[in-house]
Amino acid sequence: MLRQTFAEFRAFLAAPRLIAPMPLGGHWSRWAAMVGLYLMGLLVIGAGLALWQRTFHVPAPAAFGGYSPAILAVIVVLVAPICEEAAFRGWLTGRPRALWLLGVGLVAGGWLVAVMLHWHDQVASLCFVATVLIALIGWLILRKRTDPPRWFARGFGGWFYLSVAVFGLSHLANYPHLSWALVPMVLPQVWAGLVFGYLRMRHGLIASILAHAAGNAAALAAALLIAG
């Protein structure tokens, strides 16, 4: 079973394709095998990055400084997996309603950034609210359509690896100052994007959320043990 699971994973990465997710129930052993592979990969990558960090004096991430362990656990193990999987991989099946929400969500995010930076606050706030309403209307119209657009199906491999790259690079925001030396530090997130993306396509969004939560829980536990 392990050999078959890992062979399917390699084949998917070699040629990503749209597949109908199989329900997670009855396939927990496959899910556990992939989570185990993910954690082993993190150990290998982490060992190399520890050496890189010491050599180039790379700072530690500072995204969650100041939070208590309890609050940190809720954010890292519950909130982050749900939000990140929905944003980065929820649309990978190509359903029109998901692609619509992704596109409108990017626009809404732009308006929200404008509000936060005080760029025409009132106009940006109104546009944000209007965009949310438009997103809801579009979702209601598209909710019964399930077939992905042809352009998405033809270019799925590119979309898959784009989601992996954006997911990894987005974690550069965890560092106080950006530099080229930080780029390898997001390799764990790139590895996560590959594994979670496969699980999302193979067994659905719940499978990738649970794997994400398990990985974050293991990483947080290790960090707290080392720190204290």
Listed as own residue / partner, the contacts of 165-173 with beta carbons closer than 8 Å and 24 or more positions apart are 165/190, 165/193, 166/88, 167/84, 167/88, 167/192, 167/193, 168/193, 171/61, 173/63
Cα–Cα distance for residue pair 39/195, rounded to 1 Å: 10
CB 180 within 8 A of CB 169: no
Q: Give the tens place of pLDDT for each residue, 121-157.
A: 889 999 999 999 999 999 999 999 999 999 999 999 9
In the structure, what pLDDT confidence band is assigned to residue 227 with cuts at 50, 70 and 90?
A: low
Angle (CA) 204-205-207 rounded to 5° is: 75
CB 39 within 8 A of CB 215: yes
Q: Give the tens place of pLDDT for each residue, 23-55.
A: 888 889 999 999 999 999 999 999 999 999 999
SS3 (DSSP) at 120 = coil
Please report, as a single letter, which amino acid is at residue 147.
D
In the structure, what pLDDT confidence band is assigned to residue 182 with cuts at 50, 70 and 90?
A: very high
In the structure, what pLDDT confidence band is assigned to residue 162 with cuts at 50, 70 and 90?
A: very high
CB 188 within 8 A of CB 42: yes
Cα–Cα distance for residue pair 203/27, rounded to 1 Å: 8
Say if pTM beats, i.e. exceeds, 0.85.
Answer: yes
User: Which pair of tokens denotes residue 220?
Assistant: 């947080």
Report DSSP state, residue 76: I
**Helix 187-203 and helix 80-88, axial crossing angle in degrees, nearest 10:** 70
Q: Give the tens place of pLDDT for each residue, 53-75.
A: 999 988 877 766 677 788 889 99
Report DSSP state, residue 175: S
